[in-house]
Amino acid sequence: MSIKNNNFMRRAIALAKHGMENNAGGPFGAVVVKEGKIISEGFNRVTSKNDPTAHAEIVAIRKACEKLNSFQLTGCTIYTSCEPCPMCLGAIYWARPDKVYYACNRVDAAEIEFDDQFIYNELDVSIENRQIKFDQVLREEALEVFKVWIQKNDKTEY
């Protein structure tokens, strides 16, 4: 990794430390870079915002998309202080950056009691056997909206 890449990762790590020291949430930070410049930053704000989705990567992705006026991060790179959790991984794939660099890994996170393995395990379990109960209701009514979507001529595809 180049010196410049190291500097971007150091910024993500500094954000992790900042958020932690200010009791915003867990020790996680992220930056989004485009054309060699940081365009957004985020640190974990789960506990301070009472928002379980306010992970560093999600915060940084939301800010970057707003700044770019786009729902995709094509041409961008994400630097995150820890390997993304399953939620952040999903958001990253939906945002479509070109690359992700991470510092700590999921084992490191588990060692400080941020263990996401139960979620990875749930992804392999059939929906009827998951720990949280899922019941399907009103499928036919919801399918009507899908039918309209597929025929919609002015939709923005993604």
Catalytic residue among 35, 57, 128, 157: 57
> What single-letter DSSP state applies at residue 134?
-
Cα separation of 87 and 119, whole Å? 9
Is 144 marked active-site?
no
Contact 15, 30 (CB under 8 A): yes
Contact 27, 19 (CB under 8 A): yes
Contact 25, 47 (CB under 8 A): yes
| Partners of 34 in the β-ladder | 37, 76
DSSP secondary structure string for all residues of 20-84: HHTTSSSS-EEEEEETTEEEEEEE--HHHHT-TT--HHHHHHHHHHHHHTSS--TTEEEEEEEPP
Task: Give the catalytic positions in this structure.
Answer: 57
